[in-house]
Chains A and B, each alone.
Chain A
Amino acid sequence: MSAHAATAHGHATTHEHHDLGFLRTYVFSTDHKMIAKQFLLLGLFMMLLGGALALVVRWQLAWPETPVPGLGGILKETGGVLEPSQYNMAFTMHATIMVFFVVMPILAGGFGNFLIPLMIGARDMAFPTLNMLSFWTTFSAGIVMLIGFFVPGGHAAAGWTSYAPLSSVVEFTGVNWGQNIWCISLFVMGVGSMMGSINYITTVINMRAPGMSLFRMPLVVWSLFITAILLLLALPVLTSGVAMLLFDRWLGTSWFRPSGGGEPLLWQHVFWYFGHPEVYILILPAMGIASEILPVFSRKPVFGYHAMAFSMIAIAFLSWVVYGHHMFVSGMNPALGTAFMVTTMVIAVPSAIKTFNWLGTLWGGRIQFTVPMLNALAFVSMFVIGGLSGIFMANSPVDIYIQDTYFIVAHIHYVVFGGSIFGAFGAIYYWFPKMFGRMTNVALGHLHFWPSFVFFNITFFPMHIIGVGGQMRRIYNPMQYEFLQHQQHWNVIITVGAIGLGVAQIPFIINFFWSMFAGRPAPLNPWNSTTLEWTASSPPPHLNWGPTIPTVYRGPYEYSVPEESADFSPQTQPARAGAGARHH
């Protein structure tokens, strides 16, 4: 089994037995496609939980201290009314789950695994066993995280950023095991992510099919490659950080405790040194996904391929030197604040370049409004809003006022939900035929997309307004503040939007599972795309292609090439002299 990695460029081993039994096929599989599905399902399951927690938080904010529907059975003492400590736990775990167990598993874990080998023409990942281990490590981390809900004292309640010393001293929150479990789970998750990232990097560097030069790689592979480098370098910082936090809690060290000579700001430096690259870990794969879907349904080459790839590289480099913008008012030396303002303004440039290139891709195209395309367009437009709102916070004087208000909550959700999650939905609709061999239902797809898009904006746009009005994030009851009472109606509107957004996911769940078993069988290349995964059967067999690996002759976005009759020219199709031979 593991020997096939070496034969990736040669021929499939013909004596391969595909009858591996249930356990080796569906559970402890080393096939990158099965591992991808496992990651995807883990992420989708966790999204239900993370979403439910968000609704609990929203209910409390709109109708403070009234019983949350459905929680009466769990919170028996209060009849379903959330207590402040439970509210803190709910938003802490909402963010923790969404960041570490939804977006990362779906985009980096799921689509990273599925797409990298198929799109570069490899038979599997470089280290299939490590790949399997990476999933089961992440899965274990998820289980550990879930256990935290059932320990005395409740789960972690110090925010997903877990600022010390609130997080490092038990007495300050009253949470003992919950916070320990939070640290342990993220430590394990960090180890799993490291295994995955080493694998992705090695695979992209070593296992590309003949002719697949770096600049013939699809942009989504570029994005996942860069994401893997960020994961490799950033996650160990978090892993070390949570270990330090756990040592402070358990072993009496004083990394972050001033009474023992420690420094609370050290945690923030460690956390954000991981945390800002993490933001790009969450968004880069979605940028890659949009760069895949837009050309296909515009029937046009991506605009400025090299600018797209280099701007992602620039974002990755710069992401290491902007993290201090999370700490403008933390007490960090304000001279550093100036420096971080400059770097943060600079990182806006490559993001702007990408946006303009996506627009350029649409320009002059032949745009087909399929469900994946709608989600990719939602990604682009929501990312524009999220990117622009970022400029307010990059500006350190303005940030003095809007730091820790709902403005930042609006911003992060426009980027991570409007960006990453719409990107993930686009990817699911687009690659579902290849993943499961069946088409998704178009009507249900529209029924999912349109309400999601509308309710998303009803939910998150007004957060800018209440943030500018001064509403702090992480408060339990806005009505405790006289200066916020006049805008409470917005909190009601936001919560109604959030409930709508939650309900809008029902068609998706139905579509996903119904189509997996009963959808129309998918043809080889349902969207008439050019990239390599569409030359494998739907779904691709173990080792992806038959006896020979495809050979690559051209770039990934050769749509509507003049003098060629079809409006798409697959990467495996030799270029005719003079036609479509321009760069890549």
Chain B
Amino acid sequence: MLNWWLPENVSSFGGEIDWLFHLIYAITAITGILVFVCLIAFLVMYRDRPGRRARYTHGNTTLEIVWTIVPALILVILTFLSVPAWSKIKMSMPATDFVVQVTAKQFNWQVSYPGPDGKFGTDDDKMFLDEMHVPAGKPIRVVLKSQDVIHSFFVPSFRIKQDAVPGREIQAWFDATKPGKYEWPCAELCGFGHSGMKGWVYVHTPADYEKWAAENLKSGVAAPAQEEKPKS
């Protein structure tokens, strides 16, 4: 039931997160239902009725061992199943030549591309405010920085979330599988303008991206197309 509400997944690793989500959902739903069925059954069966005395027992060692070991086993297996996804998403970086710098500040995402010389920190860097353009089907490395407080890079459809911490450069990556326009909110409280701090990630087909890049990254001036922000 809960999974009906997950936003569309358009990320290469999002499927692994969603699969684990569904697995845990199944485990917890079954456990929850079993516990509630037992609870309600006991409440009905053993409700106070005249002439019956409660069973005098202090426990049952076998039962207690079983209900210690079974949940422990399930959780150990679940952990083993989760480690690969975690390592893939957070502990490794796929080889890619596509790097974007995102510098968060109260209350915008500043996106920079290296410009014609292919290097960051030079005069021809191209800056955009609250919008990022990437090609589909290519791993994108994001170098996350913050100018002031902690922000969090969150694109729900990419199943990615990574805090941007002032004083640090944090690497994150995603690989969007489907062209489109995806909302990009900040997920960590960052001040009075936190709500409404958001951008859009435009995922283009490779051909469209080349066209966009030719117009906006290779040429002399890039006019940052200002997204109209709802009033906050």
Contacts and interface: CB of A to CB of B under 8 A. Distances in A.
A and B held together in a complex: yes
Interface of A: 83-85, 87-88, 157-159, 163, 165-166, 169, 172-174, 258-259, 262-265, 298-307, 329-331, 334-335, 337-338, 341-342, 345-346, 348-349, 352-353, 355-357, 359-360, 362-369, 377, 380-381, 384-385, 388-389, 391-392, 395-398, 400-401, 403-405, 464-466, 468-470, 472, 474-477, 479-483, 487, 559-562, 567, 582-583
Interface of B: 2-3, 5-7, 16-17, 20-21, 24-25, 27-28, 31-32, 35-36, 38-39, 42-43, 46-49, 52-60, 63-64, 67-68, 71-72, 75-76, 78-79, 82-83, 85-87, 89-91, 106, 148-150, 152, 154, 156-157, 159-168, 170, 183, 185, 187-196, 198, 230, 232
A366 to B, nearest CB: 4
Contact of B195 (A84, A330, A360, A369): A84
A401 B21 contact: yes
Given A303-B57, A334-B91, A349-B71, 10 more contacts: A84-B194, A88-B189, A330-B163, A366-B46, A367-B42, A380-B39, A384-B36, A401-B161, A472-B187, A560-B56
Contacts of B188: 163, 404
Given A335-B91, A353-B67, A362-B42, A301 B58 contact: yes
A561 B56 CA distance: 6
Contact of B79 (A259, A304, A331, A345): A345
Contacts of A395: 20, 24, 78, 82
B165 A264 contact: yes
B185 A472 contact: yes
Contacts of B20: 395, 397-398
B47 to A, nearest CB: 5
A391 B27 contact: yes
B17 to A, nearest CB: 5
B57 A264 contact: no
Contact of A392 (B24, B32, B36, B161): B24
B75 A337 contact: no
B54 A397 contact: no
A334 B189 contact: no
Nearest to A490: B5
Nearest to B49: A366
A381 B34 CA distance: 12
A475 B185 CA distance: 10
A374 to B, nearest CB: 10
Contacts of B42: 359, 362-363, 365, 367
Contact of A301 (B57, B189, B190, B232): B57
Given A166-B189, A392-B28, A468 B5 contact: yes
9 tightest Cβ-Cβ pairs between the two chains A and B = A258-B167, A364-B55, A476-B195, A334-B90, A304-B59, A470-B156, A388-B28, A397-B85, A475-B195
